[in-house]
Amino acid sequence: MEFEVGYLLALVVIGLSFLGFMLAMMIDEVNRKKGIVTLILSIILFGLGIYYYYTVGQEQKVKGGPSVNKLNYYLYIYRGQQTTTVPQPLLPLMPEMPGKQQ
């Protein structure tokens, strides 16, 4: 649970880049040159967010441990330790018969 803050910050940077894309579309209606500059800056910010997300995933892979982040699991960035647990039966398999002496 140590890396969730890093993942959240990377997703915030990616979200800001999407806001930059929308801002670039609006600025493009008024001034074409400034709209293109804003679009390029948004693409750079998007790339930095993706790089930051991947870097946090690689750091978590080096450190190891379980992960609750399902987005990493589906993107094949970090899948965490695969733990296989055998479910324990709720009742014993051979119950003791009351009154039976061994």
Classify residue 89: in a domain, yes or no: no
Classify residue 57: in a domain, yes or no: yes
Can you point out the beta strands (E) in 10-77? none
> For residue 60, what pLDDT band results from cuts at 50, 70 and 90?
confident
Classify residue 38: in a domain, yes or no: yes
Mean pLDDT, residues 77-93 taken together = 60
The whole-number pLDDT of residue 81 equals: 60
Classify residue 62: in a domain, yes or no: yes
> Is 40's pLDDT higher than 70?
yes
Whether the predicted model's global pTM rises above the 0.75 cut:
no
Measured between alpha carbons, how far is 14 from 16 in angstroms, rounded to an integer? 5
Classify residue 18: in a domain, yes or no: yes
The whole-number pLDDT of residue 34 equals: 95
Mean pLDDT, residues 50-79 taken together = 78
> What domain range is 15 assigned to?
4-75
Measured between alpha carbons, how far is 39 from 44 in angstroms, rounded to an integer? 9
Q: How many domains does the chain have?
A: 1
Start-end of H helices in 1-102: 4-30, 32-63, 70-75
Classify residue 19: in a domain, yes or no: yes
Can you point out the beta strands (E) in 9-100? none
Classify residue 99: in a domain, yes or no: no
> For residue 20, what pLDDT band results from cuts at 50, 70 and 90?
very high
